[in-house]
């Protein structure tokens, strides 16, 4: 959970893309798709247990975890764009940063739920699945392209002093331990409805979900790869050098891959994190096939 404004460069402007924007939206859309036909039969997206659970998850698990990380290490949570002193210490404008952050983690999740409810009502389940999976991929891609900041294990002072760090140094650091603890807390809230609601869908629906997820990854990977190459060609050699020399957590593979290392990390993170999203779909399809044989 973090934010990024540029790819691994040392000095960033106070503008940024917040991954929680995509994450929140994707979570709300996911819960709607988990519910599927059970949600689609409701004339209102709000008057049902599925929405109540989604709202509880967003407000009681997801949003508090983000606020905790923001308070623990504001620099890391903002990809070292903001300092602790920027959050609420200079008047109401700075106080809006953590306020909007907490609010958006709930509001955008509700928006994702409502949009996918509407798509399910229209019988467009594939589009609903494509929408929330693509939103997850946007989040993973931002973290991948900004891996030098996302995986930086040092403190705010270390970053601004440009203290070198290796990518693998993040394992065991304070933020890593915090993420593991929050994952243990938030994870069951996320997977419980998937196993409870998603497993009730017919075999054909689960198989179609699996195909849609794989198609979504294939299509989006093409756009990612082509888009990154166009980006490099448009900005030219100066941008290539900035990507290669920008400060952040580093790894030896950058010497081999050069400027393409950001793209490779982006694709790897998408695959690794994506496995957490798609394995239940394969599990349920396999389970139903076993039941059918018996």
Distance, CA of 50 to CA of 195 (rounded, Å)? 13
Instruction: Give me the half-sphere count of Cα atoms (radius 13 Å) on the Cβ side of residue 67.
Output: 15
Taking the model in full, what pTM does it have?
0.85
Q: How many CB atoms lie within 10 A of CB 161?
A: 9
Residues making up the chain, counted from first to last: 294
| pLDDT of 10 | 38
3-class SS of residue 250: strand
| pLDDT of 98 | 85
| pLDDT of 238 | 64
pLDDT in tens, the chain (294 residues): 443 333 343 334 444 557 888 999 999 999 999 899 899 999 999 999 999 999 999 999 999 999 999 888 888 888 887 777 777 667 777 788 888 889 999 999 999 999 999 999 999 999 999 999 999 999 999 888 888 888 888 888 888 888 888 888 889 888 899 999 999 999 898 888 888 887 777 777 878 888 888 899 999 999 999 998 888 887 766 666 565 545 566 666 666 677 788 888 889 989 888 777 766 666 655 444 444 544
Give the residue among 36, 4, 7 at the shortest CA–CA distance from 18.
Answer: 4
Helices 19-35 and 92-121 cross at an angle (nearest 10°) of 30
Give the residue among 274, 174, 241, 256 at the shortest CA–CA distance from 8.
Answer: 241
């Amino acid at each position: 959970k973090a934010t990024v404004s540029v790819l691994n460069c040392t000095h960033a402007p106070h503008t940024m893309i917040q991954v929680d924007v995509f994450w929140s939206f994707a979570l709300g859309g996911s819960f709607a798709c988990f519910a599927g036909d059970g949600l689609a039969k409701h004339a209102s997206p709000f008057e049902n247990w599925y929405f109540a659970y989604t709202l509880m998850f967003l407000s009681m698990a997801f949003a508090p975890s983000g606020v905790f990380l923001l308070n623990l290490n504001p620099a890391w949570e903002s990809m070292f764009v903001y300092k602790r002193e920027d959050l609420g210490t200079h008047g109401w404008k700075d106080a809006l940063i953590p306020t909007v952050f907490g609010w958006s983690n709930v509001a955008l999740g509700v928006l994702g739920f409502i949009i996918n409810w509407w798509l399910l009502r229209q019988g467009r389940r594939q589009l609903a699945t494509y929408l929330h999976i693509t939103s997850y991929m946007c989040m993973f891609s931002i973290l991948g392209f900004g891996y030098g900041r996302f995986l930086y294990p040092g403190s705010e002072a270390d970053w601004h002093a440009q203290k070198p760090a290796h990518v693998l140094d993040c394992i065991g650091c304070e933020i890593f331990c915090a993420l593991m603890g929050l994952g243990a807390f938030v994870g069951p809230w996320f997977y419980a409805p998937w196993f409870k609601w998603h497993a009730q869908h017919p075999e054909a629906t689960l198989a179609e979900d699996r195909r849609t997820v794989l198609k979504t990854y294939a299509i989006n990977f093409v756009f990612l790869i082509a888009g990154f190459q166009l980006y490099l060609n448009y900005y030219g050699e100066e941008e290539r050098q900035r990507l290669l020399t920008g400060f952040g957590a580093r790894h030896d593979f950058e010497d081999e891959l050069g400027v393409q290392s950001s793209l490779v990390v982006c694709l790897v993170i998408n695959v690794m994190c994506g496995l957490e999203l798609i394995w239940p779909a394969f599990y349920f399809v396999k389970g139903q096939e076993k039941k059918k044989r018996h």
